[in-house]
């Protein structure tokens, strides 16, 4: 008996070892190893955000007869309230919109500009007094005009169908009556409170209770933001840019040594621009370009189109090597050429040409490149939200909105309920750099929405937040779907990677890379792959990086349905009806 009993564990372990391949195939309903959950499928409409209640606010608009543009505004307003650690009306916005009736894709740049009254010479003098070598992120110098609200009204005026009073009704309700704070957001909220608690203004009064951030499950209210939403719903964009809100901001800025004035708000406009695109293996991939980093996505795709990634395999040592090298090359152009097109002519035709991609591809060898100009990374972390919507009429919206760093600067004008962004930090101080600071200029932005077309028809609205990670995230999602055959939920759940160490558009001078940068991989990577990458000369670290958050909606024209996907690592939700 003793022999039999002692043999049972050994026998059981042996059975498990023999059966391991079988268990690996059936550990998920789909039998596919990358998906943590199924796609959402619906016919009449879809909303995907990083907060379930914001998703429901957008879906409620669709159910009440609103379109995808109306739903995107409602969801974004709710997100600014519920996830102030990443976005809010003190920040900027970019959007790609497929409009079914006109059969076109439209691009909106709703980013704000630097103060008209702050010259480059004066800025440099102030920085010298502060003994600062760059624009400090939590200083009034980093505050540019918030563009998100103007973006909402531009979208609404051109494509909206529901009154703004109805669109903002749910966000107003949640601001006044409260909402429970989710786990991931509460953690970032407390971190921001610890850092921003001594900023002048009403930050602590607005965003804390008894000096503390709300914890997981705590019901939080922001009646000041609710009042601001009511003003916008009743009086329109002018309440923010030419009315009570702009006047109060002007007074507060003058009292606290700030630089924005009423004239800066009155002068502000969003801009409808021509989207940029490249064809990748038969799919047209769209970005906005200009003063954001979306162009890098298209440059990387052009370079990688020269390789058979499908044959090399997902997350293989060779695939990760090629993607990392393509990222290094594209980010050098990002550092040198991406800036406000009102101040600099971006050589876009050259940057996006297949010929240029072939020239850049020729630099990629078997070893990790070391001779790429670089500088100090200041944008690897960036707190933002991405959302996407689709409606029963066929309209689709890809929208991204941000404060930049966490809850922004922490400067809150009493009674407004929101914190100002710190996008102005991303200006260069080099007078010869395309992204150099100037009055009334839009700084470089990290935030990018994505969209893809197939055979002239809308196919996939997608995006992710995460600072400098965003172009890499877009690249990963597109190749996961097109090259590796994943569905859109698998594409977001699969292993992520990020390379840090590229030149930044804020650098005062380019320097040569003395190493290869750092390739960060999520912990599910096979260690043999890590060893092989290190053998190629890559410096590899597991984790130690923020890999963003993703949402996506795909349209199936033949069956008349939408597929939705959302970030599984935190609180994301895609929902349809």
The one catalytic residue in 182, 384, 446, 503 is: 384
CA–CA separation, 465 and 473 (whole Å):
8
Phi-psi map region of 146: left, alpha, beta (phi>0 left; psi -120 to 50 alpha): beta
Q: Which two tokens stand for residue 509?
A: 């001078």
**Would you say 447 and 176 are in contact if contact means Cβ atoms under 8 Å apart?**
no
H or E segment and range at residue 287: strand 283-287
**Would you say 211 and 404 are in contact if contact means Cβ atoms under 8 Å apart?**
no
Q: Which two tokens stand for residue 559?
A: 């069956």
DSSP state of 61: H
CA–CA separation, 535 and 524 (whole Å):
20
CA 254 to chain centre: 32
Give Cα separations from 475 to 129, 214, 488, 497 (angstroms): 42, 35, 13, 11
Q: Which two tokens stand for residue 341?
A: 């097109």
**Would you say 168 and 162 are in contact if contact means Cβ atoms under 8 Å apart?**
no
Half-sphere exposure of 34 (CA within 13 A, CB side): 22
175: helix, strand or coil: helix
Annotate 346-360 with b (16+ C-beta within 10 A) or e (fewer).
bebeebbeeebbeeb
Phi-psi map region of 227: left, alpha, beta (phi>0 left; psi -120 to 50 alpha): alpha
Q: Please, what is the Cα angle at 324 between 312 and 459, to 5 degrees?
A: 70
CA–CA separation, 31 and 365 (whole Å):
36
| Orientation of helix 68-82 relative to helix 148-159, angle to 10° | 160
CA–CA separation, 539 and 543 (whole Å):
13
Rg (CA), the chain: 24
CA 373 to chain centre: 25
Q: Which two tokens stand for residue 233?
A: 């719903």
384 counts as catalytic: yes
Q: Which two tokens stand for residue 123?
A: 């800025």
CA–CA separation, 453 and 282 (whole Å):
9
* Length in residues, the chain: 577
Annotate 460-487 with b (16+ C-beta within 10 A) or e (fewer).
bbbbbbbbbbbbbbbbbbbbbbbbbebb
Which residues participate in catalysis according to the annotation? 384
């Amino acid at each position: 008996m003793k022999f039999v009993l002692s043999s049972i564990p050994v026998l059981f372990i042996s059975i498990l070892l023999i059966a391991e391949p079988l268990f690996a195939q059936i550990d998920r309903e789909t039998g596919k190893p990358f998906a943590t959950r199924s796609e959402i499928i619906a016919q009449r409409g879809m909303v995907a955000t990083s907060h379930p209640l914001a998703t429901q606010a957008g879906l409620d608009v669709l159910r009440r007869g609103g379109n995808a543009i109306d739903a995107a505004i409602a969801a974004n307003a709710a997100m600014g309230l519920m996830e102030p650690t990443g976005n809010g009306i003190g920040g900027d916005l970019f959007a790609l919109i497929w409009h079914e009736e006109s059969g076109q894709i439209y691009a909106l740049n709703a980013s704000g500009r630097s103060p008209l009254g702050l010259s480059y010479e004066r800025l440099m003098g102030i920085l010298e007094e502060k003994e600062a070598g760059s624009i400090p992120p939590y200083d009034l110098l980093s505050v540019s005009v918030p563009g998100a609200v103007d973006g909402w009204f531009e979208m609404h005026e051109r494509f909206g169908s529901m009154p703004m009073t109805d669109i903002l009704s749910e966000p107003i309700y949640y601001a006044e009556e409260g909402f429970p704070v989710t786990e991931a957001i509460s953690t970032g909220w407390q971190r921001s409170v610890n850092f921003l608690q001594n900023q002048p203004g009403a930050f602590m009064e607005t965003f804390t209770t008894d000096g503390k951030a709300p914890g997981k499950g705590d019901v939080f209210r922001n009646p000041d933001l609710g009042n601001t939403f009511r003003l916008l719903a009743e009086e329109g964009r002018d309440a923010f840019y030419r009315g009570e809100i702009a006047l109060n901001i002007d007074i507060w800025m003058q009292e606290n040594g700030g630089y924005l004035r009423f004239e800066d708000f009155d002068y502000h406009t969003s801009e409808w621009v021509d989207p940029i695109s490249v064809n990748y293996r038969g799919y047209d991939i769209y970005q906005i370009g200009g003063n954001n980093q979306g162009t890098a996505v298209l440059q990387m795709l052009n370079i990688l189109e020269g390789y058979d990634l499908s044959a090399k395999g997902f997350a293989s040592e060779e695939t990760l090597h090629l993607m990392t090298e393509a990222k290094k090359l594209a980010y050098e152009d990002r550092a040198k050429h991406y800036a406000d097109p009102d101040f600099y002519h971006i050589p876009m035709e050259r940057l996006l040409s297949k010929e240029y991609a072939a020239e850049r591809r020729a630099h990629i060898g078997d070893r990790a490149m070391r001779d790429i100009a670089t500088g100090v990374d200041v944008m690897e972390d960036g707190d933002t939200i991405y959302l996407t919507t689709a409606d029963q009429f066929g309209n689709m919206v890809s929208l991204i909105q941000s404060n930049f760093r966490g809850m922004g600067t922490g400067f809150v004008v009493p009674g407004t309920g929101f914190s100002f962004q710190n996008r102005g930090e991303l200006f260069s101080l080099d007078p010869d750099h395309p992204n150099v600071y100037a009055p009334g200029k839009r700084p470089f932005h990290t935030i990018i929405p994505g969209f893809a077309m197939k055979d002239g028809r809308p196919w996939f609205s997608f995006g992710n937040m995460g600072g400098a990670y965003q172009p890499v995230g877009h690249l990963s999602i597109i190749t996961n779907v097109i090259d590796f055959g994943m569905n859109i939920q698998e594409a977001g759940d699969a292993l992520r990677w990020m390379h840090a160490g590229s030149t930044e558009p804020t650098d005062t001078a380019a320097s040569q890379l003395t190493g290869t940068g750092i390739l960060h991989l999520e912990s599910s990577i096979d260690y043999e792959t890590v060893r092989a990458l290190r053998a190629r000369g890559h410096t590899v670290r597991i984790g130690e990086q923020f890999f963003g958050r993703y949402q996506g909606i795909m349209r199936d024209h033949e069956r008349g349905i939408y597929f939705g996907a959302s970030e599984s690592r935190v609180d994301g939700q895609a929902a349809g009806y």
